[in-house]
Structure 1
Amino acid sequence: MIKDKITRQEGGEKSTNLQGQSIVINQGISYKDAKEIATDVFKSNYLELSSKAAATARERAEELIDDFLKEVKGRNPEAIKTMEDPGMQHAIFLAQKDYARIGDKNLSDMLVDILVDRASQTERNLIQIVLDESLNIVPKLTNSQLDTLTVAFILKYSRNHNVNNLNTFKKYLISHLKPFTSSLSKENSLYQHLEFTGCVSVSIGSSNIENILSQTYKGIFCKGFTEEEFDMQEGNFEKFKPLLVPCLQDKTKYQLNAIDDDTLDQKAKQLKLTDFDIITLKPFLNSHQMNGKELKDIIIDQGKFMNTLFDVWDNSSLKSITLTSVGIAIAQANLRRKTGITVDLGIWIK
């Protein structure tokens, strides 16, 4: 016996009728559509090459877009919609063109990372402009220069809120700095080129690592004070006792339970201390620090790789560079590429 399926549809004026065994309605752009868009743009705009070179270029271009779509899907699926935007298509084409030309996988990873951030910017703003410029600059940099930017960014522009003792401090140095120290260079041309590309400015002034870390993580490097010393200067040990803990460096003494000035302000306000009380407490965080040699010794003791960092820092222009917005964007992309650590670019670029 044959059973025929009879289907019937009726629709009003200006309606849309759909009929079939299986219907999929996709409102918006799919990942397949996105890949086709990027591939078509690349084919339409890339230079004509010999058959072998053209095949290699297409292969690299498709590899980059596959990696990009995979990263977008994992980090921000909604960003796939920006593939219909001419500005985003142009950004992807530039990345494909440079990777097709150079073929370095590290470069591809950097470009993909920046593209994913770029796809998240749906409106024209400073972050979008900086990311577009970063796509132009990254192909002009070596891995050593990328790592140089990242080291400067970590030390001069960031603070890890998980650091609260020597153990977490050591883990922080290993996770955030160690991956970038082996490629650092003292060559002046490296820093001249970074300045030429607009990633940094090199000034006459300089800063040293021990001072930077001691200011960022003051609580780690406090030598402590006795109850008597506190009473002599402040006069009310018991009042402030909730803010005091045994000193990390000397258990016979005390220190403030704060890693830096901001943390002290927050904790003091939670205890409803007055502004005058906070001003009174600040010297106990700032004037009981290790000296330069003590600081350097304890920092180097956290890992041999710090010897390399100190050597390059003290004997090159690394200690004198200031990152531009593009330098910061590239540095954070390189940080994520090599460690998986993600930071919010919007903190530095607004």
Structure 2
Amino acid sequence: MLGDKQEQLADTGSTAIQAGRDVHYHGLSVTEVRELCILFLRNNFPELREEARRTAEEHVKSFANALEQKLVNDAASIVLEKFREPDVQAAINDAVQASARKGAAANTNILSTLISERVAKGSNDYKDMVLSEAVHVVPKLTGRQIALLSFVHFVRSMVYRGLPHINELERVGRAAFTFSSPGFGLSESQKQHLQYAGAASVNNILGGDIFDIQRQEYEYFAIADGATFKAELSTNAPSYLRLLEQFTTDNLFAVSLTSVGQAIALANISNFLGKLDYTIWLK
């Protein structure tokens, strides 16, 4: 949890924004962001009929607004010079094309989050490559598929350290429901599509006891075995129990996220839980 004061350092030769309680974004203006997006639109769709052009421009303006707001919200971590990078502009171009074609169905909130992270500090070549590829993949997925990626990442790759009691997992479980539940009960066909899109691999032979695995992840609760861990959740954290039961019901051991799938999951989760450090997983 960040306190009231934040300090942002940038590499030599870069400009970063520092912020206290109030964030003021002094980078690209709203007009400049919109003009860049509309320019990409017109370069890629020069011969649209008038009605289609108007619809596409409305879609792109909506995306530009979402991107601008995301940049404002993340201003403390933005490195402005990254907007000059061809790869960043190519990622924005990919997002614009998808938004023009599909509107909100292109998952524009996830696209804007990924682009904001792409121009943030603390990057490395690998992370930048994964984020750019994720921008290309997101429009190929449904909102429910993105929820499933988020669900799998949360259960398999995120652990809360130092909770005073197992009942604190109830709060965690309730928060996770907000971004995970749309992915519950996803069909086998939609899971296989995740593999086609490059966000995950699917192997239905895989399995396991998620309760024992989670018990080991939360070993500091000193619970003897998976069955006891499940019983403790039933009493103290029923929402978290429901998540793990659904994970088992949907056989989500079969779904393994690629780095691109992880980036998409992190973008979605961060829109609910707050900004995450992607480099914990993308390194």
Partner of 2:6: none
Q: Could you tell me how far 1:106 is from its partner in structure 2?
A: 7.4
Deviation per CA, 1:150-185: give whole Å up to 9, x if none: 111111111112523123221111112454125312
Deviation per CA, 1:69-99: give whole Å up to 9, x if none: 2211221364343333322222112111112
Partner of 1:61: 60
CA distance in 2, matches of 1:300, 1:292: 12
Q: Does 1:296 align with 2:230?
A: yes
More moved, 294-303 vs 88-97 = 294-303
CA distance in 1, matches of 2:186, 2:33: 43
Partner of 2:268: 334
Across the two proteins, how many residue pairs are aligned to each other? 255
CA distance in 2, matches of 1:28, 1:221: 50
Shift in CA distance, 305/344, structure 1 to aligned 2, threshold 3 Å: closer
Where structure 1 has 5 or more consecutive residues not aligned to the other structure, the ranges are 1-26, 223-288
Give 1:186-225 correspondences, 5 Å limit.
Answer: 186-203=186-203, 204-220=205-221, 222=223
Where structure 2 has 5 or more consecutive residues not aligned to the other structure, the ranges are 1-25
Partner of 1:240: none
Q: Could you tell me how far 1:29 is from its partner in structure 2?
A: 5.4
CA distance in 2, matches of 1:306, 1:199: 26
Q: Percent identity?
A: 24
Deviation per CA, 1:116-154: give whole Å up to 9, x if none: 111226977111110111111111112221111111111
CA distance in 2, matches of 1:122, 1:305: 32
Partner of 1:347: 280
CA contact (8 A) 1:144 1:185 kept: no
CA contact (8 A) 1:118 1:128 kept: yes
Give, as a single letter, the amino acid of the residue that structure 1 aligns with 2:278.
Answer: L
Instruction: Give the secondary structure class of the aligned counterpart of 1:322.
Output: strand
Give, as a single letter, the amino acid of the residue that structure 2 aligns with 1:72.
Answer: L
Deviation per CA, 1:18-62: give whole Å up to 9, x if none: xxxxxxxxx985553343233222222225222111111111112
Instruction: Give the secondary structure class of the aligned counterpart of 2:206.
Output: coil
* CA RMSD, 1 decimal: 2.6
Give, as a single letter, the amino acid of the residue that structure 2 aligns with 1:49.
Answer: L
Instruction: Give the secondary structure class of the aligned counterpart of 2:135.
Output: helix
Shift in CA distance, 304/87, structure 1 to aligned 2, threshold 3 Å: closer
Shift in CA distance, 332/313, structure 1 to aligned 2, threshold 3 Å: same
More moved, 296-305 vs 160-169 = 296-305
Partner of 2:257: 323
Partner of 1:126: 126
CA distance in 1, matches of 2:196, 2:105: 24
CA distance in 2, matches of 1:107, 1:28: 24
Partner of 1:226: none
CA contact (8 A) 1:41 1:89 kept: no
Instruction: Give the secondary structure class of the aligned counterpart of 2:256.
Output: strand
CA contact (8 A) 2:37 2:64 kept: yes
Specify the structure having the higher radius of gyration (Cα): 1
Q: Could you tell me how far 1:218 is from its partner in structure 2?
A: 1.8
